[in-house]
């Protein structure tokens, strides 16, 4: 092999598919030099991409709302076929089809041993935690590509037990790399359980995944809020109630209109730092959703916050927001004894169990998020359509392997 094609950030609102070198069994220079560890990676594997998805987190970069440099490779939702392994890879073999957690983890540090693989200490010299194809996440090459290198393969890769079965359900299984575990993490850490009433802010793919996860966890009613009519229609398609935030009505009144009371047992923020206020013409107000969920969650409730918040946002509305400082009503959350769970989802905590739910037919995540297949060459158009609010989860099929 002599080459590889990958989606690259070219500046605000623009991506392109470019040719780069075929991956090698080596760590990125930033990681090996910054962590003072060997560059050679006999613990790694190279995967041929079967599917790789466009994520809302990618869109933050492409909109110019992070400090991502031009030339940043993209893509952290990876499912692939193993085509090469290093000498120290013992339990993954060529031909295996595997899901790749978007968290890159060594499997050896204190955080990994505690199951907190989203904040591994050995894969990013800048901060705890790393991801493929993402700004400030260690310099790892992105997976919206033809091929990708996965380090610590025995630890990171989730092998599907049957190849034919995996290919039949690949549009569901591709969601295991990020949004299904992330949505589940949001619902689970919000305390969703049998009979819960649940509010999910945001009907994008992560919000829809959180809503489906809440159903799997036994919620009696799942209410999804958004201002995009097509995305709300998608939430309704698998049994969710919806509230249209473009109405400008108070969130408490909208919830009461559905449930008969203005509060819920559990709430999930699946929007993040590009939140807008209520109303059709509302301007950006990044603390809106955080304050909404505190306002409607009952006393003693938990709040799951899988929505992304950043420390550097050059396009923010004010100087505080540019550094991730938001006007949060923390006093309200404190008075109501709320608990908050933020940060990257530790994908390995959930992905095997969620795989089993998919393979048994009990989880239909592709249907919930409206998985839509496109080619690698169509990725720029997919980014454009997604940015305009398409009620779809775009799944890139670089090699034409998806039926």
Kindly provide the b/e burial profile for residues 26-64, where b requires at least 16 CB atoms within 10 angstroms of the residue's own CB: bbbebbbeebeeeeebebbbbbbbbbbbbbbbbbbbbeb
Compute the average pLDDT of residues 154-172.
Answer: 98
Mean per-residue pLDDT of the chain: 97
| Range(s) of the chain covered by CATH 3.90.180.10 | 4-178+345-396
387 pLDDT more than 70: yes
pLDDT of residue 218: 98
pLDDT of residue 188: 98
* Percentage of residues of the chain with pLDDT beyond 70: 100
153 pLDDT more than 70: yes
pLDDT of residue 226: 98
Compute the average pLDDT of residues 35-64.
Answer: 97
> For strand 77-85 and strand 45-53, is the pairing parallel, antiparallel, or unpaired?
antiparallel
pLDDT of residue 32: 96
* Percentage of residues of the chain with pLDDT beyond 90: 99
Residue 171 confidence class, pLDDT cut points 50, 70, 90: very high
pLDDT tens per residue, range 74-95 = 999 999 999 999 999 999 999 9
272 pLDDT more than 80: yes
pLDDT of residue 51: 98
For the domain covering 4-178+345-396, report its CATH number. Answer: 3.90.180.10
Q: Which CATH class is domain 182-341?
A: alpha beta
Residue 291 confidence class, pLDDT cut points 50, 70, 90: very high
Q: Rounded to a whole number, what is the distance in angstroms from the first to the last CA of the chain?
A: 25
Compute the average pLDDT of residues 203-221.
Answer: 98
Residue 2 confidence class, pLDDT cut points 50, 70, 90: low
pLDDT tens per residue, range 91-128 = 999 999 999 999 999 999 999 999 999 999 999 999 99
pLDDT of residue 343: 96
SS3 376: coil
pLDDT of residue 308: 96
* pTM of the complete model beyond 0.95: yes
Whole-angstrom Cα distance, residue 388 to residue 204?
12
pLDDT tens per residue, range 224-237 = 999 999 999 999 99
Radius of gyration of the chain (CA): 20
Whole-angstrom Cα distance, residue 66 to residue 152?
28
pLDDT of residue 215: 98
| Range(s) of the chain covered by CATH 3.40.50.720 | 182-341
């Amino acid at each position: 092999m002599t080459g590889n094609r990958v989606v690259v950030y070219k500046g605000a609102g623009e991506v392109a598919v470019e040719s780069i070198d075929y991956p090698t069994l080596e760590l990125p220079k930033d990681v090996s030099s910054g962590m003072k560890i060997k560059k050679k990676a006999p613990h790694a594997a190279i995967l041929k991409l079967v599917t790789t998805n466009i994520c809302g987190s990618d869109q933050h970069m492409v909109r110019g709302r992070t400090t991502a440099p031009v030339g940043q490779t993209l893509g952290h939702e990876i499912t692939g076929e193993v085509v090469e392994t290093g000498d120290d890879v013992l339990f993954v073999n060529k031909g295996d089809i595997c899901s790749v957690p978007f968290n890159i983890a060594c499997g050896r540090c204190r955080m990994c041993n505690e199951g907190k693989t989203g904040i591994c200490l050995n894969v990013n010299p800048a901060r705890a935690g790393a991801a493929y194809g993402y700004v400030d996440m260690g310099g790892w090459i992105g997976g919206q590509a033809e091929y990708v290198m996965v380090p610590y393969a025995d630890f990171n890769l989730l092998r599907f037990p049957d190849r034919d079965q995996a290919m039949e359900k690949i549009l569901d299984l591709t969601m295991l790399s990020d949004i299904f575990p992330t949505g589940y993490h949001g619902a689970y850490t919000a305390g969703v359980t049998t009979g819960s009433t649940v509010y999910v802010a945001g009907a994008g793919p992560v919000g829809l995944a959180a809503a489906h996860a809440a159903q799997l966890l036994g919620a009696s009613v799942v209410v999804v809020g958004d201002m995009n009519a097509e995305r709300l229609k998608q939430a309704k398609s698998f049994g969710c109630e919806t509230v249209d935030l473009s109405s400008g009505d108070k969130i408490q009144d909208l919830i009461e209109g559905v449930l008969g009371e203005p509060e819920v047992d559990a709430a999930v923020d699946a929007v993040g730092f590009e939140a807008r206020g209520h109303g059709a013409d509302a301007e950006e107000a990044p603390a809106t959703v955080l304050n909404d969920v505190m306002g409607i969650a009952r006393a003693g409730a938990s709040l799951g916050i899988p929505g992304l918040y950043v420390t550097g946002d050059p396009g923010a509305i004010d100087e505080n927001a540019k550094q991730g400082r938001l006007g949060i009503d923390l006093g309200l959350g404190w008075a109501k004894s709320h608990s908050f769970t933020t940060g990257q989802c530790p994908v390995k905590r959930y992905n095997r169990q969620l795989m089993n739910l998919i393979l048994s037919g009990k989880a239909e995540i592709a249907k919930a998020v409206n998985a839509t297949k496109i080619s690698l060459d169509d990725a720029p158009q997919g980014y454009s359509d997604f940015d305009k609010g398409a009620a779809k989860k775009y799944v890139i099929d670089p090699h034409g392997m998806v039926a």
